[in-house]
Amino acid sequence: MDRSGRRVLFYTETTGRGGAEISLRNLIAALDPALDVAIMGADESVCAWIASARPGTDVVLIEPPGHKFAFTRFFALRRELAHRRPDIFHANLRTTADARYAVLAAMTVPAVNVVVVEHSPLRPGTRLGRWLKRRTSSRLAAHIAVGDHAARLVEAGAGLPAGSVMTIHNGVPDDGIASPRPDGGQVVAGTFARLDRRKGIDVLFAAVAPLQNVALLVAGDGPDRDEILSDADRRGLAARARAYTRTLSRPNELAHAWREAGLLNVVQDMRTIRMDFTSFADFWTPAEGGEGPVAEFVGSLDVAARLRLRDAVQAAYIDGEEDGPRSYAATAWVVRGEVP
């Protein structure tokens, strides 16, 4: 098939690098060079990093329509898509509710084939979100999940027909066999993840258990933390496993974990992150359609409880003034090191 000139536009609304973004970067690096590829998203640094895997890839920055009242952003995005006229609009989703209005905008542009790739099975947290997911999913050129179990969970969570979500596993670059450690010591297999059964951390445990020269490093937290760590003990990994599953608040504790994993020249620093919101709706959207423990908790509430919570948070956000832009700050520990 001659793919010369076919335009593929990859879309992401993320502002950070995670598994979904790494997978997308690996994908564009492996695509046929004849394809005309572009990355569209909200964060310049993330989009540039993804695009760097394929020299010559255009980056298009937009303001994503993050909620149902973001009409100006919705129509601005649609105009940009109509101008570019991609053959394929590929939406790279962090959760099933991610980028739902961007997907809808793409569907209104004639001759654009819309493809959605699901990286997490967390269901939309609202009735409107699930309704919109069902309506848009029925018109997709392809609806893809990165695993069979994830595909079935997406279908069940959004009320989609069984078998409507196909599976294409993420590709991983083959960089060859790692160089042996200079000291001939143990190899360290590590994971930094939300400790949830759906993450499949038990698969890592099963792979490491028979390999006596492999140590295990587990970092993160989540609802199934105790069960997952107990599973490591049951598999006989207690002597070879180190877990960091609480807040790392001791001096240089995070850097120490990275050094134990074998990284060199490790540096730890504290960063302040500024978070800007255009309105309360912009602030609240991740709680109803995002990922992580907050969105999961909000999604578990019945409608009345969710509305009470929303009203209470809105009152604190507005604080007796007009709704509008707000800026908040958060701090985080950042660590970096070099792979030997």
Phi and psi of 42, rounded to 5°?
-100, -25
Give this prediction's pTM. 0.65
pLDDT of amino acid 291: 59
pLDDT of amino acid 93: 92
Cross-strand partners of 190: 217
pLDDT of amino acid 35: 94
Give the confidence band of 182 by pLDDT, cuts at 50, 70, 90: low
- How many Å from the N-terminal Cα to the C-terminal Cα in the chain? 42
Task: Delineate the domains of the chain, giving CATH numbers in brackets.
Answer: 7-167 (3.40.50.2000), 187-265 (3.40.50.2000), 279-324 (no CATH)
Q: pLDDT, tens digit, for every residue of 255-288?
A: 887 787 778 888 888 778 788 888 888 888 878 7
- How many angstroms from the chain centroid is the CA of residue 96? 11
Q: pLDDT, tens digit, for every residue of 106-125?
A: 999 999 999 999 998 777 76
More confident residue, 107 or 326: 107
Whether pLDDT at 2 is above 60:
no
Q: pLDDT, tens digit, for every residue of 55-100?
A: 999 999 999 998 888 899 999 999 999 999 999 999 999 888 889 9
Q: What is the DSSP letter of 285?
A: H
Q: What contacts 66, CB < 8 A, 6 or more positions away?
A: 13, 73, 101, 281, 282, 285
Judged by DSSP in three states, 188 sits in: strand
Q: Say which amino acid occupies 175.
A: D
Average per-residue pLDDT for the chain = 85
Nearest residue to 220 (alpha-carbon basis) of 252, 196, 189: 196
Token look-up 């009203």 returns: 311
Specify whether the CB–CB gap between 146 and 117 falls below 8 A: yes
Angle CA(162)–CA(165)–CA(166) in degrees, nearest 5? 120
Specify whether the CB–CB gap between 57 and 49 falls below 8 A: no
What are the DSSP E strand ranges found in the chain?
A: 7-12, 36-41, 58-61, 88-93, 113-118, 142-145, 166-167, 187-192, 214-219, 241-244, 264-277, 326-338
Nearest residue to 207 (alpha-carbon basis) of 190, 226, 229, 225: 190
